Structure 1
Amino acid sequence: MEISTPDGDGFRPLDEKSLVEYIKATPPLLAKLGGTVDNLHVKEVGDGNLNFVYIVVAPSGSLVIKQALPYIRSIGESWPMTKERAYFEAAALRIHGRLCPAHVPQVYHFDHAMSLIGMRYLEPPHIVLRKGLIAGVEYPLLAQHMAEYMSRTLFYTSLLYTTTTEHKRAVTEFCGNADMIRHTGQVVFSDPYKVSQYNRWTSPYLDRDAEAVRQDNFLKLEVAQLKSMFCERAQALIHGDLHTGSVMATQVSTQVIDPEFAFYGPMGFDMGAFLGNLILSFFAQDGHANQGNDRKAHKKWILRTIEETWNLFYQKFMALWNENKDGPGEAHLPTIYNNTDVLQLVQANFMGDLFHDSLGFGAAKMIRRIVGVAHVEDFESIYDASKRADCERKALNFAKMLMKERRKFTSTTEVVLAIQEVDS
């Protein structure tokens, strides 16, 4: 990856015309397009909340340009946001790409002053996973690939593998992404539980439901614990926003994108975000059912994927731990945890806590997508507001129960049964 040195405040947002000139003057990008900007096709596809995203295709190559704006794109300049997130996104892509190259797109170029990343274009038939799930597409390798990505990125950036010195150095670097961490803390753990100008929901159908969230003292106790954990526990380099809109997929490929919220945080936040968004997709399916497809088979597949993702992650993470139990990691020194019995006790305790953390964070991510600021297309694309609200209410009720009662669950099989009970 080539990194350009920032030159004062040299930032300027690029449009399609100025982007072509930028590429022409940037050798690493120009080389990926065959050395010429002739016959370029440029398309802006940034339909997210934050950034400009351009797909650039030439006869001899292709790439994606992503540029961070100094505010939230979906809201405007009234909600400023640091452009520095581009630096941390590029750094996280580089680190996670080294640890799991099969499931992270390659970065070609990073320009600090321009808050700009040039990276691999995930060509069709790659589509955003969320859109595929809405369309009823099944991805047979999704659970395996996501388990591989999370197990490798989380294990190898934790103290289970690294020394304290290495870990603290990395934690310190990513503390620079504090604005994004604060933003996540606000929209996930704070705004949904109080009156906020940015909150919205399917009104009037969910007015009472939103009010119930704001009045639920036990829910507030649990979310306070989760927020503390999110802010204070620097376990591993997490993606920080690992929802189904941050994954591009085909039947044989799964690519994780957009880690601009990356920092050293609790492992369960990534697992919870992914599982929570799969659960949201499950509850949205009835709103997309029609006479030609009742979505029942797709709902069963989503539930299998939820189970398989955690179970495969558990297997892969434990395998990495056992392979490296005598390695450089300083969390559990082999001179202390020097027999099978004690190591198994430590592992069981660690994985049990991680499972419950994941359920709690997953529940928080679900709640914020229903009564908070940024919603999900899974529900938003259900045009009948009454039907949409029915789907959202089931998801919200499940999420509230899951957050408050997560410690009683011992397996994803039990979680799936609880989902089916709410759905019945």
Structure 2
Amino acid sequence: MATTLKQAYKPLNEQTVVGLAQKLKLFSDYQNIKVNEIGDGNLNLVFRLIEADTGKSIIVKQALPYAKVVGESWPLTLDRARIESSSLIKSAEFAPEHVPEVFYTDQDLALTVMEDLSSHVILRKGLIEGVKYPHLAQHIGTFIAKSLFYTSDFYLHPFEKKELVQTFTNPELCKITEDLVFTDPFYDINTNDFPSELKEAVSKLWNDTLLKQRAASLKYKFLTRAEALLHGDLHTGSIFVTETSTKLIDSEFAYYGPQGFDIAHFFANIALNHASQSFHISDNLRREEYQSYLLSVIKDTWETFTAHYRELWKTEGVESATKLPEFEEEILNSIFTDMIGFAGCEVIRRTIGLAHVEDLDSIEDFNGQIELKKRVLKLGSDWVKNAERIKNIDEFITYIRSV
């Protein structure tokens, strides 16, 4: 790893990022470096540097001191760059095949130099286009099982676990989740974003006292339960894929939280894509077949996750409680119930909150889009309110089919 370059923070541009690469000796020929700023997210600059003669490429990701989606009126901590790089490095200890390799980090410049994943595509875009990824469920289920177990009290010495909790304390980005996922969508707050045609459905949601109580309970779990290291924002836009490879990116929201959170966000976004295919795929047979594939991704991911988690619990657990089979079942049941509630919050906020999903918003039939969003809001509400009544993954999938 290159020596740290101590200097004051300043946003990079296409010229200065080449100078940085030269100082770090990342290429051999700096006269023929092609640079593109490819960031399409809300929080960062992302540069791809390619050496013309060799084709060697890297990604330089730099945090901005504000949210791009709003502007400088929404300041953000630069420490999230440290959180992200530390999360990737930690994940590489137990699942290096599922995260980009980190080559260099600089806390002063709030940047990370990492592996270029241009051979991959963003999962969300692939799913909207109806592409199947045969290893996706196995990869995600395995990664989440390893990530949760290897960063938990069931595997780590208590001192090491508590040190990691401190390392990944992430108050500013957690506050974004607390507001945009668990609070704002359930109240008449100006960060919400939806067309007037949804006003009646949204007003019904805002007046549902039970829904708001259950959402508050889920928020409390998010605030207080430091169970394992989470990615923190594991939607289908944070996953790069090929037919044989799955890589998780954008982990600046990483922190210690409840174990059901990450898998809930993955499932919620798969469910939203499942619903949207009613408009993206016109052929009935092909649509039904692809929607069945999406449901199999959810079921296979859950079954892969539980199988790997059980095996790690059995073979590598160090906490005395891992010798109690009944306690293993209690933990997995708790993860499952939490997952359903968290998934419901994610579905609601992706429909009427600040940050939407292309799966729904790209539907050209506006009236159809509105009707689908009404159904999706009901799905999310049902999950939040009925989480404890849903007993297994097949019942969870039945709700998705109903949309």
**TM tier, smaller:** over 0.9
Matches within 5 A, 1:165-176: 165-175=159-169
Contact 2:347 2:377 in 1 (8 A): yes
In 1, Cα distance between equivalents of 2:17 and 2:166: 34
Question: Which of 147, 157, 180 matches 1:153?
Answer: 147
Offset, 1:403: 1.0
Matches within 5 A, 1:29-68: 30=26, 33=27, 35-58=28-51, 59-60=53-54, 61-68=56-63
Offset, 1:14: 1.1
Offset, 1:6: 5.2
Matches within 5 A, 1:50-129: 50-58=43-51, 59-60=53-54, 61-124=56-119, 126-129=120-123
SS at match of 1:196: coil
Matches within 5 A, 1:301-316: 301-316=293-308
Task: Give the corresponding residue for 1:4.
Answer: 4
In 2, Cα distance between equivalents of 1:228 and 1:3: 42
Q: Number of aligned residue pairs: give it.
A: 401
Contact 1:110 1:116 in 2 (8 A): yes
Q: Give 4+ residue runs of structure 1 displaced > 3 Å after superposition.
A: 291-294
SS at match of 1:4: coil
Question: Which of 111, 126, 137 matches 2:131?
Answer: 137
Q: CA RMSD in A?
A: 1.5
Question: Which of 182, 192, 197 matches 2:185?
Answer: 192
Matches within 5 A, 1:24-423: 24-27=22-25, 30=26, 33=27, 35-58=28-51, 59-60=53-54, 61-124=56-119, 126-175=120-169, 177-201=170-194, 203-291=195-283, 295-325=287-317, 327=318, 330=319, 332-333=320-321, 337=323, 343-420=324-401, 422-423=402-403
Offset, 1:63: 0.7
Post-superposition CA distance 1:84-139 (Å, at most 9, x none): 10010000000011110111110001111111110000132x10000000010011
In 2, Cα distance between equivalents of 1:365 and 1:195: 17
| Pair 1:2–1:223, CA change in 2 (3 A) | farther
In 1, Cα distance between equivalents of 2:62 and 2:161: 29
SS at match of 1:205: helix
In 1, Cα distance between equivalents of 2:260 and 2:380: 16
In 1, Cα distance between equivalents of 2:5 and 2:256: 25
The AA in structure 1 aligned to 2:57 is S
Offset, 1:38: 2.9
In 2, Cα distance between equivalents of 1:397 and 1:294: 26
Post-superposition CA distance 1:297-318 (Å, at most 9, x none): 1111001111111111000111
**Larger deviation: 13-22 or 65-74?**
13-22
The AA in structure 2 aligned to 1:155 is F
Q: So what's the TM-score if we normalise by structure 2?
A: 0.96
SS at match of 1:63: strand
| Pair 1:333–1:290, CA change in 2 (3 A) | closer
Contact 2:42 2:67 in 1 (8 A): yes
SS at match of 2:300: helix
SS at match of 1:108: strand
Offset, 1:36: 2.3
Offset, 1:418: 2.1
Post-superposition CA distance 1:268-289 (Å, at most 9, x none): 1111111111111111111212
Contact 1:286 1:294 in 2 (8 A): no
In 2, Cα distance between equivalents of 1:190 and 1:385: 27
Task: Give the corresponding residue for 1:340.
Answer: none
Post-superposition CA distance 1:182-212 (Å, at most 9, x none): 11111101110112222111x1221111112
Contact 2:2 2:24 in 1 (8 A): no
In 2, Cα distance between equivalents of 1:380 and 1:11: 36
Offset, 1:39: 1.8
SS at match of 1:67: strand
Offset, 1:361: 0.8
**Larger deviation: 11-20 or 261-270?**
11-20
Contact 1:93 1:259 in 2 (8 A): yes
In 2, Cα distance between equivalents of 1:186 and 1:144: 32
| Pair 1:195–1:410, CA change in 2 (3 A) | same
SS at match of 2:381: helix
SS at match of 1:11: coil
In 1, Cα distance between equivalents of 2:281 and 2:197: 21
The AA in structure 2 aligned to 1:227 is K
Contact 2:321 2:327 in 1 (8 A): no
Q: So what's the TM-score if we normalise by structure 1?
A: 0.91
The AA in structure 2 aligned to 1:389 is I
In 2, Cα distance between equivalents of 1:131 and 1:370: 18
Q: Where do 5+ consecutive residues of structure 2 fail to align?
A: none
In 2, Cα distance between equivalents of 1:170 and 1:411: 32
Q: Where do 5+ consecutive residues of structure 1 fail to align?
A: 338-342
Offset, 1:160: 0.7
In 1, Cα distance between equivalents of 2:221 and 2:321: 24
